[in-house]
Amino acid sequence: MAALGKLFQRYFQRLRKVPSKDVFCLLDYLLALGGTYHKPSGIWLTTLWYLLQLLTAYQYCMQVLITFDNVARLEDRTSTIWSVMCLLTMTLCYVKQFFVWRYRGTIRSIRNFIVESEFGSRDVACDTAVRERALFWDQLRLRTRVAVQQHVQLLDLMVTLQPIYEKLFFIIYYQSLVVAGTVSYVIIREEFDLCSVAIILCTSISILECYWWCHLVDTFKELNETIAGNLLGQCCQLPYSADRHSEYLQMRSTFMIVANISRHSVAFSCWGVFEISTAVFAKLLNISYSVLMFLINVYDGGNLV
């Protein structure tokens, strides 16, 4: 126990040494544990990595054989449905891993932007200058230019992220749609035990994953609306003077243009089928319930037996 305590103590000491601005400090470990594309260093890590890949490939092949055997015999409808759902889930996991590998450059660019960007003019003299009347417009123009450049850079990264986000959400949404209804049917048909608890937890994670992706899009929309609202509010608060008439009009025009761009910047959709929002998640639950009722009516004749 003492050795285990020292091990945890060393681990948390290493975590404290990680720079606080790097919000992705544990991402590489999670990706490696999830079997996603990773470049291990060292012979032991490389060996463990390839053993993990062989294990997942073996499990997938076994699931394929089990599914085909159940479908061919059709002795137990519940087992057949469950094996098909397991195979579908594992296949979609491989597809999602492929998309993460395919767009790894885009993901790395966004990660570097978030970690390395410094939202300031990087001019110490300007950042610490007193906002006197003679310096106000020059300082405001400089800060606005830097902020607009970084905002445009962020929007460009969102545009590059849009294809992978839409494709992954398409997979996650329809996976949750089918899994929620069919797994509920399997749980109703079978006796409730510890395995049922594990199935419910896995299904809940899949559904919460879909909700989280919808929530991220809504958060991005709310952020753009907040930026646009603040910029339009700043237009009304700009001090006007006759000798700075041109600067006043220029800043008002800049704020209004950036506000309009923020509101109509990037629209995320489910691979062109519909626009992503939290309301879509509510529709998913309704459709999943319809799938459950359909399975009950087809296989049980409307009776829960």
Delimit the domains of the chain by residue range: 25-116+137-303
* pLDDT for 141 beyond 50: yes
Residue 11: per-residue pLDDT: 42
Q: Give residue 18's pLDDT.
A: 47
> In degrees rounded to 5, what are phi and psi of residue 273?
-80, -50
Better pLDDT: 290 or 34: 290
**What is the predicted pLDDT for the residue at 170?**
92
Tell me the pLDDT tens digit for each residue of 197-240: 777 887 888 889 899 999 999 999 998 889 888 888 888 888 87
Mean pLDDT of 139-166: 86
For 269, the 3-state DSSP assignment is: strand
Nearest to 97 by CA among 150, 51, 31: 31
Report pLDDT for 216: 92
CB 112 within 8 A of CB 154: no
- Categorize the per-residue pLDDT at 301 as very low, low, confident or very high, splitting at 50, 70 and 90: low
pLDDT value of position 213:
92
Mean pLDDT of 160-166: 90
Average pLDDT, the chain: 77
Distance of CA 19 to the CA centre of its chain: 23
1: pLDDT strictly greater than 50 = no
Residue 117, pLDDT score: 58
For residue 159, pLDDT over 50 is answered with yes
**90 has pLDDT over 80:** yes
CA dist 305 and 303 (Å) reads 6
Q: How many Cα atoms are found within 13 Å in the side-chain-facing hemisphere of 6?
A: 3
Q: Does residue 120 register a pLDDT over 50?
A: no
Q: What is the per-residue pLDDT across 252-274, written as a single tens digit (0 to 9) for each?
A: 888 888 888 888 888 899 888 88
Q: How many residues does this entry show for the chain?
A: 305
- What confidence category does residue 300 fall into, taking pLDDT thresholds of 50, 70 and 90? low
Q: Over range 32-47, report the average pLDDT.
A: 71
Residue with tokens 């009950």: 296
Q: Is the pLDDT of residue 74 over 80?
A: no
Report the amino acid identity of residue 113: F
pLDDT at residue 124 greater than cutoff 50: no
